[in-house]
Amino acid sequence: MHKRNGIEMSSSPPRSLDSGLRHHSYCRKQKSLGVLCSNFVSLYDRDDVELVGLDYAARRLGVERRRIYDIVNVLESVGVLARKAKNKYSWIGFSGIPKALKELRDEGLRAISGCDGPCDKEVLEDEDEDIEGQNHDDGDEKLSKIAGASIESSFSKARSATDNRKEKSLGLLTRNFVKLFLMSDADTISLDEAARLLLGDMSDLSHMRNFNAAKVRRLYDIANVLSSMNLIEKIQVEARKPAFRWLGTKGKLKTDNTVMVSLPLIDKQLSKRAFGTEITNVETKRSRLSYTISKKSSKAQLRNQDLKECNLTAQKQLNMKNGFVFGPFCPAGVTKVDDHFEESGGRSSQDCESLACSLRPQYHNQALSELFSHYMEAWKSWYAELGQGGNLQQPYDM
DNA sequence: TGGTCCCGCCAATAG
DNA sequence: CTATTGGCGGGACCA
């Protein structure tokens, strides 16, 4: 039960998947960790779920088991999941995030005050505002301490290989990455900065270049799933300078000059999930989520930020219904969802088909409004068709 | 082009 | 030993 999937090495692209078809071009984006994470969450984020079976998840989501590990590792770091046993995790859900974050914070505080001597325990200020993050000196040092990795050049010990391995785990990297945000009051951290802090600064040693490049890939992985969880968002601080903004538990919505745009919708937990525990400007009144956006932008130019969030919300909403993400026009397979963990390796192809696609708001601000209406359209028609029925059965799991 | 990051090989680890 | 985990980096994708 491992590699199947006729696909061999990366040398032979996914083409030739079912010889003839190859219809709508293979879209890499639909296979991103972020999308997969959304689907994963959609699959389990229900009240009656407590156990998460890796095999089941992989099968239902139509992906290699390997990918599930990636997701699970970062979700666990953020408290959404807890390892229960081999092949088994317990689903904590979004409600577990605050606690996990608090622990990370404490851990971080301990790291700075604990270690070497005097080190005042003020919550490192790090005069942010320098979005450029140019001058790093003292506050920077603290951060890198928190980030763990940092100067591992300490001759200390021949890091018992095991530690060495663990040190590079996605999980640890995730936790340190999150700590960076929690401990610094700057809510924006550039990719470069994060890489430097998390992976140690040895960029000057040419032979270390590869090493760093490899690690940065992990950062992208992590960022993708964290973004899909709405914990961070990717932004672009001046060309060629990607950065991540911490959204964490506070939805950042405008307050003044606002106009209400209400989206049909689901439940109040929704806003919790989308914006964290402190629901500030989001009003949730019986099955209707109102969203505020700045007035002057009433026309086609809503602020990017607003559009993005709007879309995120929409996505969430779409995701909610019976726990699945409906790709563009493919509610296909929703009715046959379930068959509660169909045994025998028969990987259900319809799953891949219906789950694979979903949108990825964080990276496509331009087309957001289009996508948005597109989705609402699809959603409405689907809902009308299937809606009332009451036979929106939930998928089982284990 | 070069930033992103999917994919799956295969080495650690767990059982 | 077999199965589960997951580091790792080649190279495809796409802005």
Its domain, for residue A275, covers 258-386
Strand B atom within 7 Å of A192 CB: no
Q: Of A79-88, A165-174, A206-215, where does mean pLDDT reach its minimum? A: A206-215
Pick A331 or A149 by higher pLDDT: A149
pLDDT surpassing 80 at residue A246 = yes
- Distance, CA of A9 to C1' of C11, in Å: 10
Do A134 and A240 sit in the same domain of this protein?
A: yes
Residue A381 has which token pair?
């028609």
Which nucleotides of strand C come closer than 7 angstroms to any CB of the protein?
4-15
- Select from A216, A246, A276 the last residue of a domain: A246
| Phi, then psi, of A288 in degrees rounded to 5 | -150, 125
Of residues A32 and A269, the one with the higher pLDDT is A32
Distance from C-alpha of A209 to C-alpha of A71, rounded to nearest angstrom: 27
Nearest to A310 by CA among A250, A375, A244: A375
Say if residue A221 is in the same domain as residue A165: yes
Domain-embedded: residue A146: yes
Cβ A69 to strand B below 7 Å? no
Average pLDDT over residues A346-351: 36
Q: Which nucleotide is nearest to A73 (CA to C1')?
A: C6
Same domain, A318 and A376: yes
User: What pLDDT, on a 0 to 100 scale, did the predictor assign at position A148?
Assistant: 60
Q: Is the CB of A3 under 7 A from strand B?
A: yes
For residues A199 and A113, state if they share a domain. Answer: yes
Distance A85 CA to C2 C1' (A): 18
Residue A196 pLDDT: 83
CA A154-A155-A159 angle, to 5 degrees, is: 90
Assess if residue A19 is contained within a domain: no
The 10s digit of each residue's pLDDT in A107-152 is 888 877 765 544 433 333 333 333 333 444 556 666 666 666 444 4
Query: What is the average pLDDT score of chain A?
Result: 60
Q: Give the pLDDT confidence score for residue A184 in this predicted structure.
A: 85
What pLDDT shows up at residue A80? Answer: 96
Range ranked top by mean pLDDT from A168-182, A188-202, A306-320, A354-368: A168-182
Q: Are residues A146 and A211 part of one domain?
A: yes
The residue with greater pLDDT, A41 or A185, is: A41
CA A282 to CA A292: how far, in whole Å? 7
The answer as to whether A203 is a domain residue is yes
In this complex, the residue with its CA at the shortest distance from the C1' of nucleotide B13 is: A162
Q: What is the pLDDT of residue A144?
A: 64
Name the range with the highest mean pLDDT among A229-238, A269-278, A295-304.
A229-238
- Over chain A, what HEC string results? CCCCCCCCCCCCCCCCCCCCCCCCCCCHHHHCHHHHHHHHHHHHCCCCCCEEEHHHHHHHHCCCHHHHHHHHHHHHHCCCEEEEECCEEEECCHHHHHHHHHHHHHHHHHHHHHCCCCCCCCCCCCCCCCCCCCCCCHHHHHHHHHCCCCCCCCCCCCCCCHHHHHHCCHHHHHHHHHHHHHHCCCCEEEHHHHHHHHHCCCCCCHHHHHHHHHHHHHHHHHHHHHHHCCCEEEEECCCCCEEEEECCCECCCCCCCEEEEEEECCCHHHHHHHHCCECCCCEEECCEEEEEEEHHHCCCCCCHHHHHHHHHHHHHHHHHHHHCCCCCCCCCCCCCCCCCCCCCCCCCHHHHHHHHCCCCHHHCCCCHHHHHHHHHHHHHHHHHHHCCCCCCCCCCCC
A380 and A326 housed in the same domain: yes
Q: Is the pLDDT of residue A336 over 50?
A: no
- Nearest-nucleotide field for A9 (CA, C1'): B8
Flag whether pLDDT at A56 surpasses 90: yes
A390 CA → B4 C1’, Å: 42
What pLDDT does A296 receive?
Answer: 24
- How far apart (Å, rounded) are the C-alpha atoms in residues A33 and A65? 13
Residue A110: its pLDDT value, please? Answer: 85
Q: Is the domain of A213 the same as that of A273? A: no
Number of domains in chain A: 2
Nucleotide nearest to A31 (CA to C1'): B6
Is residue A60 a part of any domain in this protein? no
A154 and A265 fall within a common domain? no
Of the two residues A129 and A242, the one the predictor is more confident about is: A242
A262 forms beta bridges with A290
A242 and A122 inside one domain: yes
Higher-pLDDT residue of A237, A288: A237
Residue A219 pLDDT > 70: yes
With pLDDT > 70 as the criterion, what percentage of chain A qualifies?
41
